[in-house]
A and B are shown apart, each in its own frame.
Chain A
Amino acid sequence: MDAETMKLLAAGISMGLGAIGPGIGIGILGMGAMNALGRNPEARGPIMTNMILAIAMAEAVAIYALVIAVVLIFVA
């Protein structure tokens, strides 16, 4: 395999594996938010705000993998 093929393969693998963890994490966050909302529908404001904050933190890890993949394709 030459270097070009390996770079593309590496980009695909890095993004694919890097999205497993954050995907599961965001799902768990959503479940927690739904449970909390079901128990206490009046606290919708704070629950939604904190859920969005936590989801963006979990998504940042997937974004690190995306940056590696983009650098592999376009720069290296």
Chain B
Amino acid sequence: MAEQKPESKRKGCLGCSFPVLITLTVLALALFIVGFLAGPLGQSFFKGINMPEWLKVPTPSVELPAEVLFHLGPLPVTNTILTSWITIVVLAIILIFLSSRSKLVPGRFQGLIESALEWVYNLCKDVAGEKAGPRLFPVIVTIFLFVLFNAWMGLVPGFGSILAHTEEGSVPLLRGANTDINTPLAIALISFVFVTYLGLASGGFGFLKQFFNFGRFFRGWGKLFTGKVKGAFGDIGYGFIDSFVGILELVSYIFRIFSFTFRLFGNMTGGEILVLMFLFLFPFVIVLPIYGLELLVGAVQALIFSGLTLVFATIASTPHEEEHH
């Protein structure tokens, strides 16, 4: 985009000159061909070509439970716990460093982090309103940053390939924290407790009335005994439906924990398996679009998790109007 570049090299595309572009294309093509021949597809098509052993990709073995690295007393520490500690340390270092050296006119790095935080802040204010948005903001942005950094750290080279030798054999030392089902379950439980607390704090026991809606049912029976028979049967019937719908709402409310867990776990584990399979079938080059998809999916899942927690918290703290029949 600079008009002052000297015209000594002819312009190719992407701003590079033609010699650089040709070198890059030849390099990519060489990696493509070598990858095809070293993978299982090439080995079965061209049986005569022998690749050196260090180029061949081993068959991927996917373990769903996280592998234990060592024990801290009675508690096992798995590689996903180690990764989530690393995420916490990285997040803490970045944010403490930024907040201690914040300038009024921000530099590039500070501007980047500030724009991300401001985007989440505006989302909170849009969904929850001007007053409640800043109150909900800390929890929402914590969930967002934690899930985002867990997902993106799992893409750093070294995750899954650096091996540690434990008593079970060689296990990967580092593994993306969201691929263990415990991390999404923990965050989902935190979000559930947060939403329930907000509902109870702002609505009192009226919050529980939307689930246990037996009032009309019992009023119907009461009417039967005090004499107004015609109104009684209507109330009993509708009251039965009300309480049934209330139980259904309770089940759907508790199911949110599992839906949060499996959404995040499934996306992350599915992405990891996809990357492993593509690396196995066609080494080196073809996996790059999948890698880009993983970046996008990590960001979207973080947004979904925090956004849905925000929406549920807003719904829970908004008082419901009484229905009058």
Contact = CB atoms under 8 A, between A and B. Distances in A.
Contacts of A66: 266, 270
Interface string B162-191: 000000000000000000000000000000
B304 A64 contact: no
B20 interface: no
A67 B269 contact: yes
A63 B266 contact: yes
Interface on chain A toward B: helix, strand, loop, or mixed SS? helix
Interface string B255-268: 00001001101110
Contacts of B112: none
Contacts of B267: 59, 63
A63 B304 contact: no
B62 A52 contact: no
Contacts of A74: 62-64
Interface in B2-54: none
B262 to A, nearest CB: 6
B301 A56 contact: yes
B273 interface: yes
Contacts of A63: 262-263, 266-267, 270
Interface in A18-76: 52-53, 56-57, 59-60, 63-64, 66-67, 70-71, 74-75
Contacts of A71: 64
B98 interface: no
Interface in B262-287: 262-263, 265-267, 269-270, 273
A67 B300 contact: no
Contacts of B259: 60
Interface in B126-147: none
Interface of A: 52-53, 56-57, 59-60, 63-64, 66-67, 70-71, 74-75
